[in-house]
Every structure is written in C-alpha cells, then in structure tokens.
Amino acid sequence: MSQIPVHYAMLLAAILFAIGLIGVLSRRNIILMLMSVEIMLNAAGLAFIIAGSRWLQPDGQVMFIFILAMAAAEVSVGLALIVQMYQQHKTLDVNSINKMKG
Amino acid sequence: MNLSENIGQLTPFIIMVVAPLLLIVIISIKRNHLFSWLYTLLTFLLVAITALLAMENPLAEIPLFALDKFTYFYTILFSSAGFLIVLTSYRYFENRTEQKDEFYVLLVMATLGSSALVASRNFVSLFLSLEVLSVSLYALIAYLRKNELGIEAGIKYLVLAAMSSSFLLFGIALIYLETGTMDFGILAESLGPNLSVWILGGFALIIAGAGFKLSVAPFHWWTPDVYQGASSPVTSFIATISKGGMVGVIIRLFSSVKGYEYPSLVISISIIAIASMFTGNILALLQNNIKRLLAYSSISHLGYILVAFLAIPQNGAEAATFYLVAYFITTIGAFGIITILSDQDGEPESLDEYKGMFWKKPWLAACFSLVIFSLAGIPLTAGFLGKFYVASAGAGAGLWILLTVLVINSVIGVYYYLRVITTMFSTEKNEKTLPDLKLLSGAGLALLIIALAIIWLGILPSGIIELITRSTF
C-alpha cells in the first residue's frame, strides 16, 4: 500500500484551518462563526492524526479525542450563550450586539 | 509512582477536584449563599495549606504533570488570590437577583485548571488544563445573565478563545509532526541549534495562542470588552489567575526548551513585549472607564513580564514570578474596590463616579490610592520592586532596548494612574452615594490584607524573594 506523503496531508489540514479562519473573520452570524471555529479545531485534530501516523504513535489519535470532547464542551456553553443572546436582542447578528467600543 | 505514598503531593489538586463536585451536590439539595461562600473560602484555604506542606517534599514524578516547588508556589499564589476574590465578593452577589452558588463552583474549577496548567510538562496536559480553565471562564464571564454587556463579553471571549485554542493546537501538531514528542523535556533534546520551518511555524502559532490568553499586543483586542462586560470579581479572576497560569507554563516551556537561545523566538517575543507596553499605556490614556483603563494597564504589565522572560538565564524566572505576585495583589485590590463600591444598580465604571471619593470615604480612597501607586510603580510599594527586579534581570541579560522602552512606558503610565488619584481628591460636588464598608466584613478584611501585603512586599521583600528563588528554575 502506497502512503500519502505527510506534507500533502498537512497541506489539507492547513487548507481546512484557513477555511475555518476565513469563516470566523467574515461571517457575522454567531452560529456560523461557531461552526467555523469547529472547522479550525477539527483541522488541528486532523494535523494531530497525521503527525501520530508519521511516528506510529497513538498520541495523535488520543489528542484528537481530547479535542472532540473539548469542542463539544465548548459548543454546549456557546449554544447556551447564544440562546441568552437571542432572548435579549432577538438577533443572531454579532454586529448588532456590539455595544462596547474604544 | 505509588499513589498511597505520594498522596500528600496530590492533595491540593484532589481538593480542587472534589470540592466543586461536592458543592454541586449540596446546591442541588439546598441553596444557601452564605454556606457556599464559607465553603469556598475554606476550600481555597485548605488548598493553600496542603500545597505549602507538599512544597517541603516535592518529589513525585508523573508523566504529564511536574509536581515541583514551582507548581506548588503557583498553586499557593492562585488559591490565595481566589481566597481574596471570594472574600471581597459576598455582598456583590448578595445584591444580585441571579443564582449565586454556581459562581463558586466555576471559580474553584477554573483555579484548578490554572494550577494544573502551571504543573503541565507535556502539551497534552497543557491543552487539557487550558480548556478546563477556558470553559469555566466562558460561563463565568456571562454569569450575570441579565446584564447585556456580560452576554456580549461572554460571546466575544468564547469565539476568540476557541479560535486561539485552535491556533495553539495546530502549533502543537506541527511541533509534534517534526519532533515526535509532546513532552517538554524530550522536546528540548530533539530541537537542534537551527529550527526548521515547521517548528518555527509551530512556535509562532503557540505564541499566538498563548499571547491571546496573556492578552499581549497584537492579540489583546478582547481584553477591554471582556473586562468591562464581566462582573468585577470575574474580571479580577481573568486579570490574575487566568493569566498567571499561562505565565507559569510559558516559563516552564521556555526554560526547558531554552527558548532564549533561539534568535527568532527572542526577536518575536521582544516585538510583542514592546508592542504591548506601548499599546497598553497609550490606549489607557484615552479611557474614562476605570475597568477599561485597568484592562489596558494589564496589557502593558504583561509586556513588562515578557521582558523578564528573555532574561531567564539571569534570574528572569524569579523576576517574572515576583512581578506576577505584585501584579496579583494590586490587581485584586483594584477590582476588589470596584466590587465593594458596586450596588444593586451596577458597578461604578466611569471615572466621574470617583470624583471626591476621598472626602466621603477617606479610608477606601487611601486604599485605592495605594493600589494605584503600586500599579504605577511608585517606590515603597510592591509594584516598584517588581519593576526594579524585572529591570535588573533585563540589565543582567543586556536587553537595553527593551529596558529603555520599559522606562519610557513607566513614565507614560504614571500620567494616567495619577489622573485616577486626582479625580478622587477633586472637590467638585458628586451626588452619588457610595455603599458603606465595615472593617469587620469579608471585604474589609480582604482590603486590609491587600494593603498590608502591598506595603510589606514594597519594604521587606526578602522573605518572599527567597521563597521564589527556591521554587523557580
């Protein structure tokens, strides 16, 4: 079985990471921003799996499971905050809740 | 490692894990704010005492965490800081209509995350403890959910913190890809004299992720908004314990991989330090909101600490730790006073509300002046000695450009700090009534401890310096 070169796989992870980053910076809907952050986290997780497979160690996959668990915790708190935000402002647009400046 | 033999070394951490879980169970049976408050004070006290005892015999070796004197020193620092924050905030939460008890659960959990962060000697444990800290913080920032600014601050922090975690993770993955290890000690051996592009990229991403937590420029954009939106006790926590954890683990990482020997890392950290000192101090000049002013001032204080990082071979770790102790005491004092002056209507944020405070509350104003003097680094206060210590470590390492910037910024800093003090002494009429403070209440006691500690550290620092020297690398 021929192996995919490590750096190609890392390039894929980097592209995913960049897509997520552009999403966070350009989207103004808070739910889509959270989804973009999830893409970034999963790109980092993919990078760990690639690195783990290069060294034939389980550490990379272990790290990926940690990332999944942490992302789930983060999203659950995030969604709770979004519910509060929607009750107060009746909108999901982050520009319209931005009151603090300077 | 044999668990039963080394139970003493683990006790502080076991207490911080068990205490909040137990408190959740107690809350579900019966809510009592006074009980939760006393329970949390007792928890922090026990953690500090057990960590002090464990410090005598710090030999436990476990793969992910280093239970050494450095860890215990920071654990004592964090639990005492938590103790003081809880002590000042009883009446603050008593005046609020939200449920109060979960605040204490989250506070202890976040302190656990921060202490474990300092103990980390592996990127896996670094990541896990950082997330224990961060996820507790998201909830803490938006804790007063009837406050619109709190929700806004919580959402901003959540998105940016998650983004910075992914930067940190990607950086760790790059380093792991190149070296095949996530342990700081083995990593130090496998890094050659020249860093490859992948490792440099990895370190750059880690600096971005860590820089966000430390709120140094150019990663500081969240700081003023979150400081303003979060309730004062939480702001105090973010400013001290949350940043302190990151400072601790970065000192450990930086000194174990000998980061000061790589010019690229030194240059990037120098640029960040200079940028933070200038951004923090110059933007603070424009502020009329005391919490935003303190936010910008904290950005510049973290810049001063970064100067000590580069001097790690010349007792920079001691200088950074001492500076952190002084910064902890003064910051908790400043936010503690804002907490004490808050009433049902909210917090006194605008500088105008402090007009003529000296003529109404002379003791409180004197305490606030002392805290501000210490932040500005006026002699005979803790802040002055912290700055002096950082400057002498920097001079030993020959960091002359950074020291010049540090001195220029100390002068700029004095201007806006003194503006706060002149406001308190102004004779203009101010109709606002300030709440009473009894000396025999928790908050009064906390202020007394803070004021004494600032003067004690400023005049007789030798005891604490000796302790720090024994516990750093």
Cβ separation of A24 and B159 shorter than 8 Å? yes
Burial of B96 (0-12, 13-18, 19+ CB in 10 A): middle
CA pair distance B359, B432, nearest whole angstrom: 13
Which phi-psi region, left, alpha or beta, contains residue B18 (left: φ > 0; alpha: ψ -120 to 50)? alpha
Cβ separation of A41 and B165 shorter than 8 Å? yes
Which chain B residues are closer than 8 Å to A94 by Cβ?
155
Q: What is the distance, to the nearest Å, from the Cα of residue B220 to the centroid of all Cα atoms in its chain?
A: 15
- What does the domain layout of chain B look like in residue ranges? 7-471
B350 three-class SS: strand
User: Which whole number is the average pLDDT over B357-367?
Assistant: 88
Cβ separation of B149 and A100 shorter than 8 Å? yes
Cβ separation of A44 and B169 shorter than 8 Å? yes
Within a 10 A sphere around the Cβ of A91, how many other Cβ atoms?
A: 13
Which chain A residues are closer than 8 Å to B131 by Cβ?
70, 73-74
How close B442 gets to chain A, by Cα (Å)?
A: 32
pLDDT tens digit sequence for B147-167: 888 999 999 999 999 999 999
CA pair distance B28, B222, nearest whole angstrom: 34
pLDDT at B125: 95
Mean pLDDT of the residues in chain A:
91
Whether B1 shows a pLDDT value over 60: the answer reads no
* B346 or B11, higher pLDDT: B11
B321 three-class SS: helix
Q: Which two tokens stand for residue B68?
A: 């050494």
Whether B273 shows a pLDDT value over 60: the answer reads yes
pLDDT at A102: 60
**Phi, psi (rounded to 5 degrees) for B256:** -80, -35
Within a 10 A sphere around the Cβ of B189, how many other Cβ atoms?
A: 11
Whether B276 shows a pLDDT value over 60: the answer reads yes
Which chain A residues are closer than 8 Å to B225 by Cβ?
100
Cβ separation of B292 and A102 shorter than 8 Å? yes
Whether B111 shows a pLDDT value over 90: the answer reads yes
pLDDT tens digit sequence for B201-260: 999 999 999 999 999 989 999 999 999 999 999 999 999 999 999 999 999 999 899 888
* Cα dist from A73 to A67, A85, B286, whole Å: 10, 19, 38
User: Do the Cβ atoms of B330 and B383 come closer than 8 Å?
Assistant: yes
pLDDT tens digit sequence for B34-48: 999 999 999 999 999
User: Which whole number is the average pLDDT over B284-291?
Assistant: 92
pLDDT at A99: 79
Confidence of residue B2 (pLDDT cuts 50, 70, 90): low
Whether A1 shows a pLDDT value over 60: the answer reads no
pLDDT at B173: 95
Whether B186 shows a pLDDT value over 60: the answer reads yes
CA pair distance B419, B93, nearest whole angstrom: 30
What is the DSSP secondary structure assignment for residue B312, as one 8-state letter? T
For residue B289, list its beta bridge partners. B350
Whether A68 shows a pLDDT value over 80: the answer reads yes
B417 three-class SS: helix
The answer to whether residue B418 neighbours chain A at the CB level (below 8 Å) is no
What is the DSSP secondary structure assignment for residue B147, as one 8-state letter? -
Q: Which candidate in A28, A31, A37, A66 is best for mutational testing of the B interface (most B CBs within 10 A)?
A: A37
Which chain B residues are closer than 8 Å to A98 by Cβ?
152
Cβ separation of A100 and B135 shorter than 8 Å? no
Which phi-psi region, left, alpha or beta, contains residue B85 (left: φ > 0; alpha: ψ -120 to 50)? alpha
Structural domains of chain A sorted by starting position, each given as residue range(s) with its CATH number in brackets:
6-91 (1.10.287.3510)
Whether A12 shows a pLDDT value over 90: the answer reads yes
pLDDT at B439: 67
* Cα dist from B172 to A38, A45, B161, B199, B217, whole Å: 17, 10, 16, 9, 22
CA pair distance A31, B116, nearest whole angstrom: 31
A-B Cβ pairs (cutoff 8 Å, strict)? 130
The answer to whether residue A20 neighbours chain B at the CB level (below 8 Å) is yes
Q: What is the distance, to the nearest Å, from the Cα of residue B224 to the centroid of all Cα atoms in its chain?
A: 15
Q: What is the ipTM of this complex?
A: 0.95
What is the DSSP secondary structure assignment for residue B180, as one 8-state letter? S
pLDDT tens digit sequence for A24-39: 999 999 999 999 999 9
- Sign (positive/negative) of CA torsion A49, A55, A59, A63? negative
Residue in B with minimal Cα distance to A51: B177
The answer to whether residue A40 neighbours chain B at the CB level (below 8 Å) is yes
